[in-house]
Each structure stands twice: as C-alpha cells, then as structure tokens.
Chain A
Amino acid sequence: QVFDEEGKDVTPHPLFHSDPNTVVPRQGKLLASSAYFGATGSVFLSSFSMHQPSGANASLGSFSRTYGSSSTSISNASTTESILDEIVEPGSRGDTTVSLSDVQVRQEEIKEELTKADLDRRVDLYLTETETVWILDMPSVVVSVESEDAGRVLERNRIYVDICTNRPGNDRFVEKMMQTINGAAKNKEVQCDKIIMEDKGMMVTSWDLYDLFHISEIEPTSKAEGSRTTTGKSSKSHTTKEHDRTMSVSSDRGSPTSSTMILESAVLARIHEEEECHSEAVLTSENFQQDLFFMERILMENIFQPKLAAYRQFPVLTDPDVTSDTSGTVTAMKEAKQEKHDKEKKDKEEQKEAFIDPSILSGLNKTPEEIVPPRLERLWSYVCDLTNGHSVSSMVWSKVNPDLLAVGYGAFDFKEQKKGLACCWSLKNPMWPERIFQCEHGVTALDFSMASPNLLAVGMYNGSVAIYDVRSCNDAALLDSSESSNKHTGPVWQLRWVEQDRGATGDGKKERLICISADGRITEWLIQKRLDCTDLIKIKRTESEKKKLPGEKERKSEALISQQAAGMCFDFHPKDTNFYLAGTEEGHIHQCSCSCNEQFLKTYRGHKGPVYKVAWNPFSTDMFLSCSADWSIILWHQDSQTPILTFSSATAFVHDIMWSPKSAFIFAAANESRVEIWDLSVSTLNPVISLFANPRVKFTSVLFAKNTDCLLVGDSKGEVSVFELQNLAAPNSNK
C-alpha cells in the first residue's frame, strides 16, 4: 500500500478488471455525481469519498439518492480539477472494493455437490432488486419557478442577458481568429515491377459448355485413366513436363479453357516426340476406316447417280427441248450440256418445270405415235478385279435388305475348276464387294437364310456346304460340312432355306436348309455345333419308258454305275411347302413330298437333257417351268404329265430361268449367248426382249429384282450386269 503526502492511498491497482458489469455502475456513479455537479458542490463529493461502503451496490445507489434531496452550496468551476481528481480516487477505491466484493462473491458461488436428499430439501430463493443503472441522463434545462434553485437560475439568466447587451462595442470582447498550423507534407516514392496485363478472349459456345459438363461428369469415373495420362505425360522430357503439369492442374480445376484446347495441346505435346506413330495410328484407327468406307460409297453415288436413280425408279429429268429420244438418259443429259452455253437459264427453268410436272415427262417419253418396244437398258455391272475371270454360278438377294446381293462364283464345268468365291455386293458400292469369302472349291449354289438373315449358306463343287456369317468380315466359315460323314460326294447344284409349316406340332414356321446334289440325294442339313445332314430322298433312276417292241424278250436291267440319278435342281411349292419338284440329270422332273421319302409322287418326262432349273409360277401355282440343256424351256401343269408349252429359241444350253415377281406371264431365261425375256401374254413363240452378249461371254444366271423393274444377269467372266426393263407391258392380273 502506497500513500502520498496527504495520506491518500495511491496504491497502483491491478490492471485486471474483473467484470465489466461492475465497471458500469461505477461509471454510472460518476455520471450521477457529475450530473449533480451543477447542483451540488465538492462537499458532496468529498463526503462521498468518505463513505466507502463495502457491500452491496444497492446501498450506494440509495446513498446517492439521499444526497439528491439535500441541498448544498454551489461550487465554482475553479474547483473542477480537484473534483475530477477526487472523482478518480473514489473510482479507484471503488474499484478495489468492487474487486474485493467481487472476490467475495466468487467465493460464495462455489457449488455444492448435490445429493438425492437435496431434492427434498427446502430451497430458499431470495429476490432482490438490482441497483438502477443509469445509461443516459440528460439534465433538464428548464427549472420550475417554484423550485429552490429558481432564484439562482434567474439570477444567472439576468447576468447573461446583461453580458449579451453589453457585448457589442465593449472592449472586453474582442474577435480573434486563429490559424492552425498545417503539418509539413512529406513525399515518398515507391517503385514496383510493371504489372503486365494480358488480354485473352474466348468464345464460349453452347457445345463447349456441354462438353465441359460431360467431361466433369465422366471425370470421377475415369479418374484412373486421367492419372495414368498425367503419369504418361510426365514420363516424357523435362521441357514438356511443366507444360503438362500446368495442363493437368488446369484440367483438374476445370478451368474455363475449352476441353478441345486441352486435347489439342495434349496432342501437340505428343506430336513432337512420336510423329510417325501418330500418323500410323490415324491410318489404322477405326474411325478412319469407317470414314474411308463412307467416302467410297459417296464417290460411288456421285459416279453412278443417274443409274442408281433409274434403278430406284425416280423420274428422270430430260430437257424438253431435246427431241424425246428413248435412247436413254445419258444422251439426253449430254445434249442438254451442249446447249448450256446458249441458253443456260432457260434450261434451268425448264428443268425445274419438268421436275414439277412429271406428267409432261412421261408424255414426252412416249409420244403416242410411236410404240416403243420393250428393251433392256444396261445400268451398271457389279465387277471388280477380284471377280474377273470367275464364272457366275448363282445369285441371290438378301431376305432382309433388298439392296444386298450375294453372288457365287464357280465354274460349272469339271475342267474349269478353280478356287471359288462368294461375294456380297451392296447397291451403294458397285465397284467393290462388301464381303469377300474365299472358298476352296467353286461355289455352285448360295442362299440367304430368312430366319437369321445374316447367315449365308454356300454349296460347293466338292459337295461341301458352308455357312458364313455376313456380319463379320472374317473369311472363315461359321460352319462347315467337311467333318460330316454324310456329306455329299457330288457338287451341290442347288441349296435353299425353306420355311416349313409345322402346323401339326404347333411349332410355327421352322426353317430348313435343303440341298440337292449330283450324288442323287436331297438332304436336309441340321445346324448344330457341326453341320450334319439327313436324307430327304434319294433320287432313284427311273427307267425310261421304252415301248417294248413286240416279240422282244424281257431285257435285262442295264448295269448301272449308281442306282441314283444326279439331281440338278429343286423347287418347293410356293403355297404348300410339303411338295417339291426335283429335276435330274436324266431329264426327268419328279414331284416329291417331304412326308414320303421312298417314292416320287409323279414324274414329268419331256426333257432330253439334264434339267438345269425348275421354277413354280409364283402367281398361278399350278404351273411350273423347267429349262434344260436340250435348248428348250418347257411349261408344265402339275396335273398333266406332258408339257403344255415348249419354248426353244436358240441352240444353246439354257442355264437359268426365273419367273418375274411382278407378272404371271413374264419370265427370263439365260441362254448361253443371250438373255431372253418372254412374255406369255404377248407371244409364246418368241421372246419379247432378247439381249445378245459379247461373243466371248456366256450368260449363266438371271435374277429379277423384287423392288424394282430390273434384271440381273451373271456371265462367265464374272460380271453381274444390272439391266432395267423398260416398257414391258403392265402385268395383267386376269388369267
């Protein structure tokens, strides 16, 4: 404890102020005391200091109130400072006392441990009023006339008014101005590095945003891949390392730079080091192969556009100025071009008109005066280097896609045997086949399956049957009959997938692969793990009905090499697939049934040479047609054993015939040197159209197109030509 000369306690009090709450009332007290400053004098304060109650604050509050009621003399302003000091002191004292009281309070606050018995104990609660806290005290400037201070206040007011009146012109009041000194300014310079500004522009497109969002979605799943790429990048030289790092960082952050930019810079980073491999990769990438494929097709479209349009039977634009010459569209186009220079605009207008009004076209094409003869217009031909030299043996359309054609290449003749080929051609690319299947032996027959349209069955000269899957480019056959013990020993001349109604068993349509071959058997092949077959029927040799000369003894049966006759062709009845016709090498056509495999139902004799093809008429299903090496084509009725009509027009083998899918009267025949179209409603003696082949070429097969008026003709050079049938008479549904 420190005391100054007057004996007052000036002990430096601790800096620690225990509780701000306790500070406030102290200040309040001070304010209260300063409020009464005007009214009360220093006497009050000194007496206040003397009274230092150590206890509750409430007593202090009441203390000040009692002082308010008493009146004491007014102190002057000169004693302000001393009063202020005294204010401080009691404050300090009060502080210590407060702190003391505080400590005392704290000691009292130590909690007792509560026990269960305490729940029943009587607890006394004391409610006390806290002291009044003065927050703001504004003394009033108005005093009542009847108060005790009234006189004093009036007196003071009067003095003030006197001073105010005496003020002007009084020497005691002087106006004076003052100027504050401005502090001296000091300049300070600072230098820093130039802040380099870079302008960057980006165009954000909606697809850019889309890409980014999708990359960020894919990001968590492909994080492993991403980390691998970063490690892959870091394995390169140092120069690119930082670049890569910043790139990977930026990509992680998902910066607004476009993803393509990142990819491009990634590509750039790689390019410098592996340029060769990159171009290799490009050339062998799948996308590139696909693009090449499409490009080729588009080129073809450009080259063959008018022909393909004719195939699809689009109306052909001809210039009406040109005389309507039915010599095809190509010449018309050429003439139009020649006139272009002279009247270009006029041409265009007229072409437009012609396009809008196709009736004019058709009118022009067939002027009523001339009767335009029917003709075959050659559109294009499916040929390529690979197929050159192979003879076309069979052609078949895909069951699902009418633009897809399968062609089998193989020679008929024993001496000309070489490796065969089966190709799938698409309309969209007439210059290169879509699929090429190389076969060991010449291909003699093919067919597409209906139930699974990707399967192509191929029959070969050595009697084996192979099944290819057209979906794959693989050269290997899906299934092969070479392991089968029951396979054919002679060339498979025809094979077909036939839908069989199994109404009895309730199985629904089932498809079977049926083949006929030169070893005299018609077999049904079962597609299991290995290809195996069961016999449907064995074609027995039937003896020719020779009239027994009277008087001759019974002749001994001829010694035959084999009991069986070579089968050349077959055709199932279009309505009832239980019946079928089989043509043999002897020249007989047998009608057989699937349910009876011992005997034929009927035999049709008429041909003198091997029957190359039989075909039921798709419209009037009682008739069928057969062609043979005896230069003739015979039309039969199924009930009559003798031919109805015989067509012979040339001294050449007739290799192939086919009924037109559009008319009951029209059929096509491939003689060796020409293709003939017969229309029975027009003439039964002569073919309606006859097209001659090049001298060294023989026509070997014909095929009608189902969705258009076109005929495909295959020849011995490996060319499949597509002809458009023009101006054939409209099919007559009667008869």
Chain B
Amino acid sequence: MSLKRSSVQYTPSYITLLCLLCNREKAEVEETLKRIQAHKGVIATIVVNAEGIPIRTTLDNSTTVQYAGLLHQLIMKARSTVRDIDPQNDLTFLRIRSKKHEIMVAPDKEYLLIVIQNPCE
C-alpha cells in the first residue's frame, strides 16, 4: 500500500488503521533491514528522515546525526548536479568508496537510507 501523504488527512483513527494495514509491509521491511545489518562487513545501517532525525540506526546518536548532516549536504549537491544537466533526471543512488569503508546512500524526498560497509573483509 503506497501512501501519498500530500492528499491525506492524518486523523487518529486513520493512523491506527494505517498501522494495522502496514504491519505486513513493516514486518517485511524490518526483516530486510535486519538482514542487511547482518551481512558480512556491514558496519552500520542508518535511516533518517528529511530533517535528519534518525528513524532507525545502529550507531550512537551523535555519530548518526553527524553522518546524516554531512551526507544530506552531499546528496543535495549531487542531486543538483544531476538535475542541472538534465532536469528530467534525478539522483537514485550514491556510493562513496574510501580507503576503509564504502558508504552507500539511497536518497529520497522524505528519508535517507545509509549503509556503511567494509567490503574488504
């Protein structure tokens, strides 16, 4: 069930209904997140919303907020670059490979999904 938030009023009853309906998808999502976390070499998995408030994270709060803030700016810049060249294009994924880790970011309007992996193990 895809939620189009712009056209919906969030009354309390609606929220409870959503929670009931979304439980299946949520369970799947939780499972996938757990699997990702359990993979070889994955150091951290972070999900932050558009303001930088962490929704799910496996690191401590300060590091999470630091990552979120820095990556948010980079994503804005990267997205701006992609769209300046062709406005119909958009950024879907960003990977930064460094000496020690690889940081993978899946950006969206409402959230940022960040996974940090050590691929050499």
Which A positions have Cβ atoms within 8 angstroms of B? 205-207, 209-211, 225, 228-229, 232, 235, 263-264, 267-268, 270-271, 274-275, 277-289, 291-296, 298-300, 302-303, 305, 431-432
Contact = CB atoms under 8 A, between A and B. Distances in A.
Nearest to A231: B9
Interface residues on B, range: 35 or more
A206 B87 contact: yes
Nearest to B87: A210
B47 A295 contact: no
Nearest to B92: A294
A292 B32 CA distance: 7
B9 A235 contact: yes
Contact of B117 (A278, A299, A432): A299
Contact of A277 (B15, B80, B109): B15
B68 to A, nearest CB: 13
A232 B9 contact: yes
A302 B102 contact: yes
B100 to A, nearest CB: 14
Given A228-B7, A277-B18, A288 B88 contact: no
B54 to A, nearest CB: 9
B9 A293 contact: no
Contacts of B2: 285-286
Given A279-B55, A295-B36, A302-B41, A289 B25 contact: yes
B83 A229 contact: no
The A contact surface, by secondary structure, is helix
A282 B110 contact: yes
A3 B106 CA distance: 105
B35 to A, nearest CB: 6
Contacts of B15: 274, 277
A289 B115 contact: no
Nearest to A284: B22
Given A206-B84, A225-B6, A228-B7, 18 more contacts: A205-B84, A207-B87, A232-B8, A268-B51, A282-B49, A282-B55, A283-B55, A284-B25, A284-B29, A287-B108, A292-B29, A293-B32, A295-B106, A296-B35, A298-B104, A299-B104, A302-B102, A431-B39
Interface in B62-121: 80, 83-84, 87-88, 93, 95, 102, 104, 106, 108-111, 113, 115, 117, 119
B33 interface: yes
B22 A207 contact: no
A631 B19 CA distance: 58
A431 B7 CA distance: 38
A303 B41 contact: yes
Contacts of A279: 49, 53, 55
B44 interface: no
B117 A296 contact: no
A263 B5 CA distance: 11
Interface string B9-32: 110000100110010011011001
Interface of B: 1-3, 5-10, 15, 18-19, 22, 25-26, 28-29, 32-33, 35-36, 39-42, 47, 49-51, 53, 55-56, 80, 83-84, 87-88, 93, 95, 102, 104, 106, 108-111, 113, 115, 117, 119
11 contacts: A205-B84, A267-B110, A283-B26, A288-B108, A289-B32, A296-B35, A298-B95, A299-B115, A303-B40, A303-B119, A431-B39
A284 B24 CA distance: 9
A229 B32 contact: no
Contacts of A295: 36, 104, 106, 113, 115
Nearest 10 A-B pairs (CB), nearest first? Answer: A207-B83, A210-B87, A291-B106, A207-B87, A284-B22, A302-B119, A286-B2, A279-B55, A232-B9, A282-B111
A295 B107 CA distance: 11
Nearest to B8: A232
A282 B94 CA distance: 19
Contacts of B117: 299, 302
A143 to B, nearest CB: 85
Centre residue among A211, A229, A283, A300 by max chain B CB count within 10 A:
A283
A338 to B, nearest CB: 13
Nearest to A429: B35
Given A229-B6, A292-B33, A292-B36, A284 B26 contact: yes
A264 B67 CA distance: 20
A209 B83 CA distance: 11
Contacts of B33: 292
Contacts of B50: 264, 267
B9 A291 contact: no
Nearest to B86: A207
Contacts of B40: 303
A264 B29 CA distance: 25
Contacts of B6: 225, 229
Contacts of B49: 278-279, 282
A334 to B, nearest CB: 10
A30 to B, nearest CB: 75
A288 B111 contact: yes
Contacts of A282: 47, 49, 55, 110-111
A298 B92 CA distance: 13
B32 A283 contact: no
Contact of A280 (B18, B84, B106): B18
A624 to B, nearest CB: 43
A25 B80 CA distance: 77
A292 B22 contact: no
Contacts of A289: 25, 28-29, 32
Given A277-B15, A284-B25, A303-B39, A207 B80 contact: yes
Contacts of A299: 36, 39, 42, 104, 115, 117
Nearest to B115: A295
Contact of A274 (B10, B35, B41, B87): B10
